[in-house]
């Protein structure tokens, strides 16, 4: 007798599966859409650009299909080493996919980074689908114009108009993807929604809270790692995280007056992590000044990024 298989592919009917990458300019709503399609938060979201820094996979099952969404960092003109790593990772994520969803923020339109992405997509061989996002903010006439312009520039199989925020149009997209992906066995167990280890998700959640609370260059100058994760006998968990910043002045801002900023970040993060784990969480945050963390290969390894030389 053999053990039951790890994956729970349905026994009746052909199953479909595949990898679908989402690419687009920073802030287009890629992570929001992945969360909406998966039906749970697997990737952090903020109103700021360059929130996602590495590949995050979110897994949805729809009809007989398992769709593995690859959320990627926004694509923009890189300046720092970290930018280069993020943008290279995004294009790499697209290359690994069976299908690419190209997200355009319909409110912003096709200019700057979005225009540059469409230009570069001409050389990408994978099938491409256009997603006009944020339709809750745009009138239909503008959507039609954007559809025409984008389809002139790139050979898209289909165009979908969605609101990642409200979920409008998202079921049509899932229906399409479930049929469009090739027949094949599922890659993950049916109840798995992400491949991000919990330690890393917990660090991401803290980074989200830091992004929401701190402004200007600080979010971009910081990096968070989970250092320790200890299950305690009373069923709670003790998590220790480090916030790396580049300068002592930044450390002061993260701490805030009498430590109130870091306390607020910690509290918001702790509550969200506890909600996901369904466990009591003790979260300890430490701030370390590490002037050149953006040039330290070890930090890139932790983030799951290749170190650009
Ligand atoms: N009104 C509206 N806002 C949206 C929609 N989708 C995303 N947003 C908002 O757009 C902002 C950016 O969303 P993200 O999902 O973080 O965007 P992203 O493309 O992952 O950004 P990066 O990770 O920085 O590349 C957030 O404030 C979202 O709430 C939408 O359909 N409608
Ligand atoms: Mg994102």
What are the structural domains, with CATH classification, of the chain?
16-180 (3.40.50.300), 198-302 (3.30.300.20)
Nearest CA, atom 12, ligand 1: 27
φ, ψ of residue 237 in degrees (nearest 5): -130, 140
pLDDT digits (tens, 9 = 90+) for 40-95: 999 999 999 999 999 999 999 999 999 999 999 999 999 999 999 999 999 999 99
Q: Kindly list the distances between the CA atom of residue 309 and the CA atoms of 80, 143, 220, 297, in Å, as whole numbers in the listed order.
A: 12, 41, 20, 9
Identify the pLDDT of residue 1. Answer: 41
- Is 58's C-beta closer than 6 angstroms to any atom of ligand 1? no
Using a pLDDT cut of 90, give the percent of the chain over it: 94
Ligand 1, atom 26, lies closest to the CA of 47
- Total-model pTM: 0.95
pLDDT at 11 over 50: yes
Q: 181-193, pLDDT tens digit by residue?
A: 999 999 999 999 9
Report DSSP letters for 14-39, one per residue: --EEEEEEEEESTTSSHHHHHHHHHT
- Please indicate whether residue 18, judged by its CB atom, sits closer than 6 Å to ligand 1: no
Q: State whether the beta carbon of 26 lies less than 6 angstroms from ligand 1.
A: yes
Backbone phi, psi, residue 41, to 5°: -80, 110
User: Distance (Å, rounded) from C-alpha 268 to C-alpha 103?
Assistant: 29
pLDDT (average), residues 238-248: 97
Provide the Cα torsion 45, 51, 56, 58; round to 10°. 20
* Of 6-15, 34-43, 143-152, 274-283, minimum mean pLDDT range: 6-15
45 lines ligand 1 (CB under 6 A): yes
What phi and psi, each to the nearest 5 degrees, are found at residue 279?
Answer: -145, 155
Q: pLDDT tens, 159-204? A: 999 999 999 999 999 999 999 999 999 999 999 999 999 999 999 9
CA of residue 27 to ligand 1 center, whole Å: 5
The Cα–Cα gap between 78 and 76 comes to 6
Distance 33 CA to ligand 1 centre (A): 8
CA 298 to chain centre: 21
Higher pLDDT, 147 or 302: 147
Instruction: Report the atom number in ligand 1 closest to the C-alpha of 25.
Output: 25
The values of phi and psi at residue 152, to 5°, are: -70, -35
What percent of the chain shows pLDDT beyond 70?
96
**Distance in Å, CA 44 to ligand 1 centroid:** 10
Say which ligand is closest to the CA of 117.
1
How far apart are the CA of 238 and the centre of ligand 1, in A? Answer: 31
């Amino acid at each position: 007798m053999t053990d039951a298989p790890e994956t729970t592919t349905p026994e009746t009917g052909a199953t479909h599966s595949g990898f679908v990458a989402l690419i687009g300019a920073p802030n287009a709503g890629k992570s929001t859409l992945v969360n909406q399609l998966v039906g749970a938060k697997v990737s952090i979201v903020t109103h700021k650009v360059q929130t996602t820094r590495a590949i995050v996979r979110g897994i949805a099952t729809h009809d007989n299909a398992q769709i593995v969404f690859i959320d990627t960092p926004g694509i923009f003109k890189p300046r720092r080493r970290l930018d280069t790593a993020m943008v290279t990772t995004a294009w790499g994520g697209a290359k690994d996919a069976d299908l690419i969803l190209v997200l355009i923020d319909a409110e912003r339109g096709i200019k700057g980074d979005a225009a540059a992405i469409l230009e570069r997509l001409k050389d990408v061989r994978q099938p491409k689908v256009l997603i006009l996002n944020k339709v809750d903010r745009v009138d239909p006439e503008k959507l039609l114009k954007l559809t025409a312009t984008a389809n002139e520039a790139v050979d898209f199989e289909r165009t979908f108009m969605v609101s990642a925020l409200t979920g409008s149009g998202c079921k049509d997209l899932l229906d399409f993807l479930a049929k469009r992906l090739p027949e094949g066995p599922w890659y993950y167990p049916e109840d798995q929604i992400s491949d991000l280890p919990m330690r890393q998700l917990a660090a991401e959640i803290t980074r989200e809270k830091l992004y929401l609370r701190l402004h200007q260059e600080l979010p971009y100058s910081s990096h968070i790692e989970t250092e320790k994760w200890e299950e305690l006998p009373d069923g709670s968990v003790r998590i220790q995280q480090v916030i790396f910043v580049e300068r002592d002045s930044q450390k002061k801002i993260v701490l805030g007056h009498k430590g109130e900023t870091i306390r607020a970040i910690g509290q918001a993060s702790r509550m969200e992590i506890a909600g996901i784990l369904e466990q009591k969480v003790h979260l300890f945050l430490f701030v370390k000044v590490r002037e050149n963390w953006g040039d330290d290969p070890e930090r890139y390894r932790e983030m799951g990024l290749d170190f650009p030389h």
